[in-house]
Every structure is written in C-alpha cells, then in structure tokens.
Amino acid sequence: MNRINQKLQEDKKILSIYFSAGYPNLNDTVQIIQDLEKNGVDMIEIGLPFSDPLADGPTIQASSTQALHNGMTTQVLFDQLKDIRKTVNIPLVIMGYFNPMLQYGVEKFCATCAEIGIDGLIVPDLPVDVYADEYKAIFEKYGLKNIFLITPQTSDERIHFIDSVSDGFIYMVSSASVTGSSAGFGNTQEAYFQRIAQMNLKNPQVIGFGINNAETFQQATQFAKGAIIGSAFITYLKENGTSKIKEFVHTIRQ
C-alpha cells in the first residue's frame, strides 16, 4: 500500500509540512526532511522550484527564487533524494509545476520518483481532465498518487470528478488566494469546510493555505483529516535557519 494511504488510515490528524527544495541552502533538503520526520511531522511536501509559480504567495516565491539561485534543478533534487528511503519512512510528495515535468519527460519523471521512493505529486497547473485523459495511466504505472486542489469556488460537479479520479487525499485550499495570504479562518471558510465535509467524498481532505500556528491547525482539522503548513515554516527557516525545526513543530503540535 502507498505510504500516503497508510498514513491516512492512522487514527490521528495529519500534519504535513511544505518547503522549497534547496532552501535556505542548496544542500539543506535531506536534513530538513529528516528533522521534520524525527520531530513528529506526518507527511512532507517537497517544493520543486519553478520560475513562474502561479499558486504561490510571496514567501514561497522568494524561497523558490533563492533555491533556483542556489542551483536547484529537477535533476539535483532527484540526486539529493536518491538515498532518502534509507533514513525516512513517512510519505513524501513532490509539489511542482507541469513545465519542469514536461521538460524532464513525464514518464521519466514518474519513474524516477518511484525509484527514489516518492509517494505522490501535486501539480497545480495540470487540469484534472487532462490528467485523467493523458497521464493517469502513467502515474498509476509507477504507483504515484496525484493530489488535486479544490477551492471554495470549485463546483460540486468538479469536486466529485476530482474525487472519482483520486486515490489519496484532496488538497482543500482554504481560500481562492495564493499561499501565505490568510491569517486565521472566518465564518466563510468554516462554512466551506463544513460543506465539503458533508459531501461524503471517498478521499479524505487535507487543508492548506492559511495554517500557521496551533490554533489554525486545530481549527482546520476539526473538519478535515489534516492540514498543511508552508509559508509559516519557510518564514521560520528564514529567521531561524535549520537548527530549530523541533521548536517549530512542537508549537504546532502543542
């Protein structure tokens, strides 16, 4: 069974952390992953930096730009992760845009992910219908879960279609804005969370965008299986470096 599915079956709320590969420094990637797992994170999204990250807010864009300046590329990331399964057991997801996958070759990209132990991909600019028609068979051939995003504006019809072609979790964007732009959740978001929860989808939901502390983590996970923290963690890395990851995770899990 895929590690994502195994993790989702556990009787706990899932904490997933996103960071940009190659940030703050090019060779920090593996150490950050190991430290996150050691301190109780359930799943990690490894951001593959791209020069035109449409869904990312200024914090993640800045970290992605720095990572590119540091020398991060698709091949460098794969080289860094080639032995990751010798030390890390939790699910690992690569989040990136479709252009680098196309340049690398979609099947070659998926095959390399499977070889090094990546469990899933999040590709925000790959439409679900294009995926279903052209790429689903390739992802499934290599045992990769493709994670789709929904927003408060996504129609029920499209959500049900996404649910039908998914076999992992659905990434619930808490608002229609870019990452890092929210500060807590209001009635509108809570109504959205409740609406999705009442749809009885076959795939569990994990909420992202706007989760930055213990309060927002708990608020989000009242309605979903887990929550994803990205911008707040990257800001923490910028301010504290990689030596105090334990403290960050413990403030969320308190």
Q: How far apart are CA 195 and CA 172, in angstroms?
A: 12
- Catalytic, 52? Answer no
Catalytic residue among 28, 45, 119, 163: 45
List the catalytic residue out of 42, 56, 119, 163: 56
Q: How many CA atoms lie within 13 A of 15 on its CB side?
A: 21
Q: Mark whether 45 is an active-site residue.
A: yes
Enzyme catalytic residues: 45, 56
